Amino acid sequence: MAQLADPRQAAYTNPNLDLLDGPFSTLPPFAEVKEQVALLSRLRRSQQVPSTEECKRLFAKLLRFCLLVEVFDVPDYMLEDIAFISEMFIRAAYEGPQGIWADGVPGKRGRLYETTLELRMKRIVWLIMEPVNRPLEALEEVELHIKEFDQVLEHDDSPYCDTPWVPGLYIYSRYGDVLVLANKFGPDTHTVLQNILVACCYPCNIAAPSADSTRATAHMHLALLGQISGDKGDEHKRHVEAAARYFRKHRTGTLHASNLYLQRPDQPIHPVYVALGEEWFTNRPSKKDDKHPGKFCTYCDKPEMQTTLLQCARCKWVYYCSKECQKGDWKAHKDTCKTYTEDQQVVEQVRKSLGPQVAIRVADYNRWCYSSHYTNSEALIHALGLRQDPNRGHTHIVVREVECVSGPRPADFRDRIRVTKCSVFKMKDVAGDLAKIVGSSKTPKAYYESMQRMVEEVSQEGGDGKPLPGAPPLPFRRLALMYFTFLRGGVFSTSSLQTNHVPEHYVRALKYEPDWREFVNGSGPPPMPFVLPNGPQDAEHIF
């Protein structure tokens, strides 16, 4: 279960890339990539290091893989070989008759320059990742690219020749990262990081998707520099607070950065690490993270730090950044929106018929079901095995039984509901049982088909992973979650079949937690298996 799904193609591919094996625009089959990596690994172990020309001939598919793959999707066991072969491809570009420049003119960009740039930027990331961990080598790559970028600005007669970090924010932000990883804590590094903060405020950068994370990372690095230099005044405090605030609101999205920069054995204890607290670094979100999660546009995933978010006026559970996003998401949201609204009406009906105490418990159940917390998010991702098979949300469902806790009503709403039973099943195996539980008159086949439609609508794609016909373009791939919750109570019982979606990049950033059951009830006992009347097999570990 620790295995990761096959690497994805990067969301954006530069159309000017020069692919040595032809103008292909898609990743080669991963099985073929693994074969070429295995061959390269054998050659390197036997010290038969291929020349650049041999690399171009033997490993053309690896070039296409390096250029087109999502940079963080390369498996750990491949990183050393991928870092090596990307260096060989870069070297081959420089050995050409005109070098990397168009027409041999320094600073004149062309397809080979764009290709070399793409390889170099990815190689820098691979060099600083934990299995490789060669920041000094990465620093050489960054500084060489900055030198070439200066040549481009000079050739283009750019107004930013004296402030190259403004148009080159991405490469300079990577420069700051590598300087800190290489333990370069002098005044030059401080200047680079301050320039990054300035560049983030320019109109050409302020609306960039990565502007907030770039700014927070610069604050994080400056906080460490202040700690090391002993300068712990108001400015140092501002850097610590700015970084910690961003990390708390974007916990899953910043786990990679926090593990890479905040817990390095060759550096002092990071002040941002201290500010976040040790609990923040466990895989499970802390109660503070659950209680104050960062809000995002449900459709485009834009965070509240970049835009103003408005609630759906009807259900008041989801958020959108614009009318366009709300309209684009309506097909997926409309059934859930209706359910939210109806459940609120049920609470009032229960209040009138069964009294306020029962109504309070039903309201607690509704809030627990529809709120974002570990049991409704990370636990479902782990249970369904989405990190290993992103399409599993189209075929599998989490079925759970819950109860309202007895005794005094806990202050935290998550502690008012306890999961007593929980299992993972194939949808087709349990459709009949679930139809009976909810009192549906549908046949098992018809109920299964309705489950499939719900999943397709929320993910906007079919079971083959391809977008539905006529589906609006999405900024990221949605992975479906389907879960059935049955509330067993003394005087009131109810159930709900729910679907939700999570961005694929969120799932891939989440480290698999095999003992997720131990944490769904906080400090309470883990749930028992859910046994259904027809005896379907628990399919959590069957792939």
Average pLDDT over residues 9-34: 74
219 vs 259, which has greater pLDDT? 219
Nearest-Å Rg of the Cα atoms of the chain is 26
pLDDT at 148: 96
pLDDT at 414: 85
Task: Give residue-wise pLDDT tens across range 173-217.
Answer: 999 999 999 999 999 999 999 999 999 999 889 877 788 899 999
How far is 419 from 521, CA to CA, in rounded Å?
Answer: 6
Average pLDDT over residues 442-459: 94
Q: Which residue has the tokens 């769904």?
A: 520
User: What confidence category does residue 408 fall into, taking pLDDT thresholds of 50, 70 and 90?
Assistant: confident
Q: Which residue has the tokens 């970084």?
A: 243
pLDDT at 11: 72
State what percent of residues in the chain have pLDDT above 70.
Answer: 94
How far is 450 from 91, CA to CA, in rounded Å?
Answer: 55
pLDDT at 506: 83
Closest by CA to 84, choosing from 118, 115, 49, 109, is 49
Average pLDDT over residues 114-126: 94
Strand pairing category for 396-404 and 478-487: parallel
CB atoms within 10 A of CB 74: 24
What CA–CA distances, in Å, run from 22 to 26, 91, 362? 11, 19, 61
Q: Which residue has the tokens 């401080």?
A: 190
216 vs 327, which has greater pLDDT? 216
User: What confidence category does residue 143 fall into, taking pLDDT thresholds of 50, 70 and 90?
Assistant: very high
User: What confidence category does residue 254 fall into, taking pLDDT thresholds of 50, 70 and 90?
Assistant: confident
Task: Give residue-wise pLDDT tens across range 350-365.
Answer: 788 888 888 888 888 8
107 pLDDT more than 80: yes
pTM: 0.75
Residue 49 half-sphere exposure toward CB, CA atoms < 13 A = 7
Q: Indicate the range of 103-107, 242-246, 314-318, 523-527 predicted with least confidence.
A: 314-318
Beta bridge partners of 487: 402, 494
State what percent of residues in the chain have pLDDT above 90.
Answer: 52
User: What confidence category does residue 291 fall into, taking pLDDT thresholds of 50, 70 and 90?
Assistant: low
Average pLDDT over residues 465-479: 81
pLDDT at 286: 57
Amino acid letter for position 476: F
3 state DSSP class of 178: helix
User: What confidence category does residue 15 fall into, taking pLDDT thresholds of 50, 70 and 90?
Assistant: low
409 pLDDT more than 50: yes
How far is 45 from 298, CA to CA, in rounded Å?
Answer: 48
**For the purposes of burial, counting CB atoms within 10 Å of the CB of 539, is it exposed (0-12), middle (13-18) or buried (19 or more)?**
buried
H/E run at residue 482:
strand 478-487
Token pair, residue 97, equals 């008759």
Q: Indicate the range of 193-207, 328-342, 508-522 predicted with least confidence.
A: 328-342
How far is 7 from 77, CA to CA, in rounded Å?
Answer: 13
pLDDT at 12: 67
Domain ranges of the chain: 166-281, 343-519
The edge-to-edge listing of strands for the beta sheet with 494-503 is 417-426, 396-404, 478-487, 494-503
CB atoms within 10 A of CB 219: 22
450 pLDDT more than 70: yes
pLDDT at 463: 77
Highest mean pLDDT among 14-23, 435-444, 460-469: 435-444
How far is 141 from 147, CA to CA, in rounded Å?
Answer: 10
User: What confidence category does residue 1 fall into, taking pLDDT thresholds of 50, 70 and 90?
Assistant: very low
Q: Indicate the range of 31-35, 99-103, 397-401 predicted with least confidence.
A: 99-103
Average pLDDT, the chain: 88
380 pLDDT more than 90: yes
Q: Indicate the range of 222-226, 314-318, 325-329, 432-436 predicted with least confidence.
A: 314-318
How far is 80 from 373, CA to CA, in rounded Å?
Answer: 37
Produce one character per residue of 138-170: b if its CB has 16 or more CB atoms within 10 Å, e if not: bbebbeebbebbebbbeeeeeeeeeebbbbbbe
pLDDT at 47: 87
3 state DSSP class of 25: coil
pLDDT at 327: 85
Beta bridge partners of 418: 403
pLDDT at 187: 96
